[in-house]
Amino acid sequence: MKTCVLIGKPNVGKTLLLLNLAKFLGNKTIKLHFMDADGNSMAKVYDIEVAKRYLCGRQPYSTMGLQWIRMNAGCQYIELVDTTGLIGDAVEPTTLRKAMAQTISFIKNASLLLHIIDATSLPSQPLPVDDIDVVLSHIFGGNDNYVMLINKIDLVDRADDILGKGAKAFNVNSDKIICVSALNKAGFKGIIDYINAQKG
Amino acid sequence: MARRLIDNERVIMQKVERAEITPSEAIRYIYGHDQNTDGINSLEIAEAQKELLSLIGLENIKKLVEELQAYINIQQRRKMEGMAHDGMTLHMIFKGNPGTGKTTVARLLGKMLHGMGLLRIGHTVEVERADLVGEYIGHTAQKVREQVKRALGGILFIDEAYSLSRGGERDFGKEAIDTLVKEMEDNKDDLVAILAGYKDEMDYFMRMNPGLRSRFPIQMEFRDYTLDELVRIADLMFDKRQYSLLPDARNKLYVLLAGKQSNMDQRMGNARLVRNIVENAIRKQAVRLHKQGSISKEDLIVIRKEDIEEVDV
Ligand SMILES: Nc1ncnc2c1ncn2[C@@H]1O[C@H](COP(=O)(O)OP(=O)(O)OP(=O)(O)O)[C@@H](O)[C@H]1O
Ligand SMILES: Nc1nc2c(ncn2[C@@H]2O[C@H](COP(=O)(O)OP(=O)(O)O)[C@@H](O)[C@H]2O)c(=O)[nH]1
Ligand SMILES: [Mg+2]
Ligand SMILES: [Mg+2]
């Protein structure tokens, strides 16, 4: 089973993407598995709409740990994993740093890395080299199993060349970028096609 | 590579938790491009480098280690690119008086070579003649093999190596050397041997055993510390232990070390003497404070003139 891992800064829409992708694939309820940074785990069945209300937050760090759903992506079962939002600097409190460490270390289990960027905060200036998105795209951007998802395109001007902007800002090939909206499910077919096209 | 990665990864994760490194750095250390190849751990290399640079003096050694690192790097790169590359024999000779930093540098090299993916564990096993030479035929070979086994994946540091050949015809020292050389061949990729000792004795020893020369291609000479360096080493040692020298205590230490240097065998002392003085001073301070009525936080830190006194090496 492919392990598809959603990573990115806090509040970029990882959790909403997890839940709405499950919905897009025809689920109404889901079995959501959690694991906190100490390794304690549990699973719970949710109605997707209820889960959204519980788990997607306006404030950053609504997710502290790993949470995943197994689902049928058409021609295969996949495991879609939502993670703790990462930022480049050390943050308070310790529990949050620990959760970030858990996510960083979990990356190695990814058969596919889905790196989410917020379309509304695409930089116009070059970012510092220790920006987490710069680091992630620099290290993984060349790998076959990496894709960049620019999320929240419902919020930006259609005329904007989001794809080009993203490719330039993070120096990744534009065929490695998919523009999506976790909210209105734009671009979801592209994500699923990408997942199914990946071997391994 | 798997185990190396897992060990290091745990350390890196702990550092993230303690806010000693940022998530960005952690990702770079674990997944960065060097890492994709031979289990290279840039964090460990950086730490060893930092520690080495923080040592007082030793400028020639620092330069040699940097050159060694560059050489290893390039050979590894060439290997990766499928080009001709040296097999890299990293056995070394360390020449210098006691307490000049030989053991300290050996340990750091272990760490560095581990970080570079050349040693599986990177620990240092320190041995001397008595650990290697036995009392009857066959005993010696067995002892040498035992020590080599302990050191596998790391560094075998043989102090006063020339004492292996000090005995006469009937001595087992030669058997020790022969077994060592054979074991080094057999464990080429999993062991670095360092022969250490006084300069003159080492030079003589190598002349007497010309076969060893090509097997220990790296030579480092540890010079005696200057008086200033010794005092700075003392300051560093106190600082690391969270103590602090008062100026007149430092003066006394200076005078004491100067006296030792002028009338004692140059070959004694050095940093080891300093360490003994430091440790003795810490005990003295404790005794002094113990007799005192109330003790302030300041008192706990300060080392006074009367705490500094002469000690044996
Ligand atoms: N240049 C230096 N700067 C700071 N500290 C040093 C320096 N050189 C040596 N020391 C310290 O002095 C002590 C003696 O160093 P050395 O490496 O010579 O060890 P040694 O005499 O073989 O002692 P041992 O192996 O018993 O620790 C160690 O505690 C070491 O940390
Ligand atoms: N308009 C819009 N809002 C989004 C989109 N994706 C996420 N959000 C909102 O962004 C906020 C953070 O989302 P969440 O999924 O919790 O982000 P996470 O921290 O990355 O898991 C929530 O208020 C979401 O409703 C999107 O595509 N469009
Ligand atoms: Mg979340
Ligand atoms: Mg020593």
ipTM of the complex: 0.93
pLDDT tier for residue A182 given thresholds of 50, 70 and 90: very high
A:B CB pairs within 8 Å: 60
Nearest to A97 among B19, B25, B32 (CB): B19
Cβ distance of B22 and A88 shorter than 8 Å: yes
C-alpha torsion sign, points B227, B232, B235, B240: negative
pLDDT of residue A92: 87
Cα gap B94→B195, rounded to integer Å:
6
Q: What is the helix (H) or strand (E) element at residue B130, kind and residue range?
A: helix B129-132
- Contacts with A155 (C-beta within 8 Å, 6 or more apart), sequence order: A119, A120
Assess whether the C-beta atom of A13 lies below 6 angstroms from ligand 2.
yes
- Assess B246–A contact: CB distance below 8 Å, yes or no: no
Name the more confident of A164 and B78: A164
Query: B245 — phi, psi (to 5°)?
Result: -85, 130
Residue boundaries of the structural domains of chain A: 2-197
How far from A147 is each of A37, A67, A107, A172, CA to CA, in Å? 26, 20, 14, 9
- Assess B16–A contact: CB distance below 8 Å, yes or no: yes
Cα gap B194→B102, rounded to integer Å:
10
Q: A54-68, B136-150, B222-236, B279-293: which has the minimum mean pLDDT?
A: A54-68
Cβ distance of A130 and B25 shorter than 8 Å: yes
Q: For residue B154, is pLDDT > 50?
A: yes
Cβ distance of A94 and B17 shorter than 8 Å: yes
| Chain B: residue whose CA lies nearest to A139 | B32
Give the residue from B22, B28, B34, B37 with the most A CB atoms within 10 Å of its CB, the best one to mutate: B22
Q: What is the helix (H) or strand (E) element at residue B302, kind and residue range?
A: strand B302-303
Chain-centre distance for alpha carbon A17: 7
Q: Per residue in B237-288, pLDDT tens?
A: 999 999 999 999 999 999 999 888 776 666 566 898 999 999 999 999 999 9
Q: Per residue in A137-155, pLDDT tens?
A: 999 999 999 999 999 999 9
Q: Per residue in B13-67, pLDDT tens?
A: 888 999 988 999 889 878 876 544 455 677 788 889 889 999 999 999 999 999 9
3-state secondary structure of A92: coil
How far from A65 is each of A12, A150, B7, B277, CA to CA, in Å? 16, 22, 22, 51
Cis peptide before B247 (omega within 30 of 0): no
Q: For residues A38-47, give the mean pLDDT.
A: 94
Mutual angle of helices B247-263 and B227-240, in 10-degree steps: 130
Nearest to B31 among A90, A100, A107 (CB): A107
Q: Per residue in A70-80, pLDDT tens?
A: 999 988 999 99
Strands A146-151 and A112-118: parallel
CB of A63 closer than 8 Å to CB of A82: yes
pLDDT of residue B6: 53
Query: First vs last Cα of chain A: how many Å apart?
Result: 9
Residues of B within 8 A of A135 (CB-CB) are 24, 27-28
CB of B257 closer than 8 Å to CB of B231: yes
- Assess A97–B contact: CB distance below 8 Å, yes or no: yes
pLDDT of residue B7: 56
pLDDT tier for residue B2 given thresholds of 50, 70 and 90: very low
Alpha-carbon distance B6 to nearest alpha carbon in chain A (angstroms): 10
- Assess B33–A contact: CB distance below 8 Å, yes or no: yes
Cα gap B245→B222, rounded to integer Å:
27
Q: Which CATH architecture has domain A2-197?
A: 3-Layer(aba) Sandwich (3.40)
Cα gap A155→A8, rounded to integer Å:
18
pLDDT of residue B264: 64
Cβ distance of A89 and B22 shorter than 8 Å: yes
Cβ distance of A98 and B17 shorter than 8 Å: yes
pLDDT tier for residue A59 given thresholds of 50, 70 and 90: confident
C-alpha torsion sign, points B53, B55, B59, B60: negative
Nearest to B16 among A101, A130, A140 (CB): A101
pLDDT of residue B3: 41
Q: Which residues have a beta carbon within 5 Å of ligand 3, which is an ion?
A: A 14-15, 62-63
Cα gap B285→B304, rounded to integer Å:
8
Strands B92-96 and A112-118: unpaired
C-alpha torsion sign, points B191, B197, B201, B202: positive
Query: What is the amino acid identity at position B286?
Result: A
Q: Which two tokens stand for residue A43?
A: 């699973």
Assess whether the C-beta atom of A67 lies below 6 angstroms from ligand 2.
no
- Assess A87–B contact: CB distance below 8 Å, yes or no: yes
Assess whether the C-beta atom of A65 lies below 6 angstroms from ligand 2.
no
Q: Per residue in A85-123, pLDDT tens?
A: 999 888 889 999 999 999 999 999 999 999 999 999 998
Place of tokens 């304690």: A40
Cα gap B288→B277, rounded to integer Å:
16
Q: Per residue in B99-132, pLDDT tens?
A: 899 999 999 999 999 888 888 888 999 999 999 9
- Assess A136–B contact: CB distance below 8 Å, yes or no: yes
For residue A151, the CA-to-ligand 3 centroid distance in Å is: 14
Q: For residues A54-82, give the mean pLDDT.
A: 89
Nearest to B24 among A97, A105, A135 (CB): A135
